[in-house]
Amino acid sequence: MEGLPLLIECAQQIREKVLPLFAKPEAAKTYGKGAGGDQMKEIDLIAEKALIETLEKNNASCTLISEESGTKRIGRNPSAYYLTTDPIDGTTNAIRGLPFVATSLAASETRNISDIDKALVSDILHNITYTAILGRGAYRNDQRIKPSTESSLKDAVIGIDLGTPRRKEFETSFMGILKKASHLRHLGANALEICYVADGTTDAFIDMRGKLRVTDVAASYLILLEAGGTMTTPEGKELNASLTPTQTVSFIAASNKQLHRAIRRSSV
């Protein structure tokens, strides 16, 4: 497995194949459930195919951990590297024509989220690429990024995913935040929403539903941490999730420790 340039090439190839399908009816053609449990759409499969072809063309060796096809061994020495991916995060947005769709790619030597050492999230419609290398900071295209210093829950712009039919179970934690925050958003591609916290566009992103897959957040986790932000479980513990297609995570991602604490206090 090569470094960041290979991840960048993969993302570019995916973008090229996916853009013509944006908001087109054929993007929505359905093919049964993928490894992560969601219905696979034409646009998801085209993106994953572009990824696998690019890896093979570059003679890369890695184990792909994908939301669509599950675990797939590629090349001669597939156990040396793991590539955790959601080729298209925001499939519903892409089909409906909402311009907020991402590719997420995270490379690691083990199957644990804390060992991710290279990460890329690309904003497909705006052609913006977020990257991070462990210990070397996070970037939006060529610009180093850092999160905001906003610490007030009332003034912060907070992304929160409330999309679950089990809303009743999460009522207490949701309501605490809903009562205090004035600027709530949910844009529909969680990988990209965490990058928005990393570069200060928003101040926090919260997903406590217990159903978001690790394939969606693996890359943006390193990007946010390298930018200087904080991301933990709702209880304030390290995420420590294993990298498998079905593993789910709940988390609070915030620009700084004060805001993170304010969110935690109001959600318990």
- The burial of 168, by beta-carbon neighbours within 10 Å (0-12 exposed, 13-18 middle, 19 or more buried), is given as exposed
Matching residue, tokens 């994908």? 66
Calpha distance 50→118 (Å, rounded): 20
Q: Which of 67-75, 160-168, 175-183, 251-259 is the region at the interface with Mg ion (rule: CB under 5 A)? A: 67-75
Q: Which of 59-67, 101-109, 179-187, 201-209 is the region at the interface with Mg ion (rule: CB under 5 A)? A: 59-67
Q: How far is the CB of 196 from Mg ion (least distance, A)?
A: 18
Q: In the stretch 71-110, what mask flags binding to Mg ion with x, by CB under 5 A?
A: ---------------x-x----------------------
Q: Does 226 bind Mg ion (CB under 5 A)?
A: no
Q: How far is the CB of 107 from Mg ion (least distance, A)?
A: 18
What phi and psi, each to the nearest 5 degrees, are found at residue 216?
A: -80, -30
For Mg ion, which is the closer residue by CB, 66 or 148?
66
Q: How far is the CB of 86 from Mg ion (least distance, A)?
A: 4
Q: What is the DSSP string of 109-177?
A: SSSBGGGEEEEEEEETTTTEEEEEETTS-EEETTEE--------TTTSEEEE----TTGGGGHHHHHHH
Residue 221 in contact with residue 190, Cβ under 8 Å? no
Residue 203 in contact with residue 156, Cβ under 8 Å? yes
For Mg ion, which is the closer residue by CB, 91 or 267?
91
For Mg ion, which is the closer residue by CB, 63 or 66?
66
Q: Does 123 bind Mg ion (CB under 5 A)?
A: no
Calpha distance 229→239 (Å, rounded): 14
Q: How far is the CB of 189 from Mg ion (least distance, A)?
A: 9
Q: How far is the CB of 21 from Mg ion (least distance, A)?
A: 14
For Mg ion, which is the closer residue by CB, 88 or 181?
88
Q: How far is the CB of 255 from Mg ion (least distance, A)?
A: 26
Matching residue, tokens 């159903």? 211
For Mg ion, which is the closer residue by CB, 153 or 218?
218
Q: How many residues bind Mg ion (CB under 5 A)?
A: 3
For Mg ion, which is the closer residue by CB, 86 or 199?
86
Residue 83 in contact with residue 75, Cβ under 8 Å? no
Q: Does 259 bind Mg ion (CB under 5 A)?
A: no
Calpha distance 72→62 (Å, rounded): 8
Q: How far is the CB of 44 from Mg ion (least distance, A)?
A: 5
Calpha distance 173→82 (Å, rounded): 34
Q: What are the residues binding Mg ion (CB under 5 A)?
A: 67, 86, 88
